[in-house]
Structure 1
Amino acid sequence: MAEQVISPDLKFVKDILSSGGEDLKKCYQCSTCTVVCNVTPDNKPFPRKEMMYAQWGVRDKLISNPDIWLCHQCSDCTANCPRGAKPGEVLGAVRKLAIEHYSPTPLSSMVGNPKYLLILFAIPVLLFLSYIVPKGYLDFSAIPRGEDGGIVYSKFMPVFPQIDVTFGAAAFFALICFVVGIKKYWSDMSAGVNVQGNITDSIKETITEILAHKRFEKCNVTKDRKTAHLLVFYAFVGLAITTTWAIVYLYGFHYDSPYPLYDPLKLLGNASALALLYGITLVTGNRLKNADKAGKGSYFDWLFITVVYAIVVTGILSELFRLANIAILAYPTYFTHLVFVFFLFAYAPFSKMAHMVYRATAMVFAKYSKRD
Structure 2
Amino acid sequence: MAEKTVFTPDVKFVRELKEAGADTMKKCYQCATCSVVCQLSPDDRPFPRKEMLMAQWGLKDELVKSADIWLCHNCNDCSKYCPRGARPGDVLAILRKSVIQENAFPKFMGKIVGDPKNIWQALAIPVVFFLLVLGVTGHLGIPEGEVVFSKLFPIHYIDQIFGPLSVLAVVMFGVSISRFWKNLSEGSQMKPKAGFLPSFIETLKEIMTHSKFKKCDENQDRSIAHMLVFYGFIGLFVTTLCAILFLYGLKWESPYPVDDPDILALFGGSETMVWILKVTFKLLANVSSLALLAGGGLIIANRLKERGVDTVTSSFDWVFVGMVLLVGASGMLAQMFRVMNFPPVIAYLTYFLHLVFVFYIIIYVPYSKLAHFVYRTVAITYTKMLKRDIEV
1:276 aligns with one of 292, 297, 300: 292
Aligned counterpart, 2:20: 19
Q: Which amino acid aligns with 1:113?
A: D
Provide Cα deviations, 1:133-189, integer angstroms capped at 9, x if missing partner: 34554542xx26xxxx532212211121x2112111221222112211111111121
Q: Which amino acid aligns with 1:108?
A: G
- Secondary structure at the residue paired with 1:297? coil
Distance 1:93 1:343 in 2: 21
Distance 1:152 1:118 in 2: 29
Structure 1 residues 55 and 15: CA distance shift in structure 2, 3 A: same
Distance 2:354 2:52 in 1: 40
Say whether 1:182 aligns with 2:183. no
Instruction: Give runs of aligned pairs for residues 59-70 of structure 1, distance below 5 A.
Output: 59-70=60-71
Distance 2:152 2:84 in 1: 57
Distance 1:207 1:49 in 2: 27
Aligned counterpart, 2:75: 74
Q: Which amino acid aligns with 2:194?
A: G
- Secondary structure at the residue paired with 1:348? coil
Distance 1:225 1:251 in 2: 39
**Structure 2 segments unaligned to the other structure (5+ residues):** 258-274
Structure 1 residues 323 and 284: CA distance shift in structure 2, 3 A: same
Q: Which amino acid aligns with 1:59?
A: K
Q: Which amino acid aligns with 1:132?
A: L
**Quick check: 355-364 or 343-352, which moved more?**
343-352
Aligned counterpart, 1:223: 220
Say whether 1:120 aligns with 2:122. yes
Aligned counterpart, 1:288: 304
**TM-score after normalising by structure 1:** 0.94
**Structure 1 segments unaligned to the other structure (5+ residues):** none
Distance 2:113 2:137 in 1: 32
1:210 aligns with one of 207, 210, 215: 207
Distance 1:22 1:336 in 2: 36
**Quick check: 349-358 or 170-179, which moved more?**
170-179
Q: Which amino acid aligns with 1:244?
A: L
| Structure 1 residue 41, shift from structure 2 partner | 1.6
- Secondary structure at the residue paired with 2:326? helix
CA contact (8 A) 1:77 1:88 kept: yes
Aligned counterpart, 2:265: none
Q: Which amino acid aligns with 1:370?
A: K
| Structure 1 residue 257, shift from structure 2 partner | 2.3
Say whether 1:335 aligns with 2:332. no
CA contact (8 A) 1:24 1:87 kept: yes
Indicate the RMSD between aligned Cα atoms, in angstroms: 1.7
| Structure 1 residue 354, shift from structure 2 partner | 0.7
**Quick check: 59-68 or 189-198, which moved more?**
189-198
Say whether 1:356 aligns with 2:351. no
Q: Which amino acid aligns with 2:158?
A: I
Aligned counterpart, 1:104: 105
Distance 1:301 1:90 in 2: 13
Distance 1:333 1:292 in 2: 40
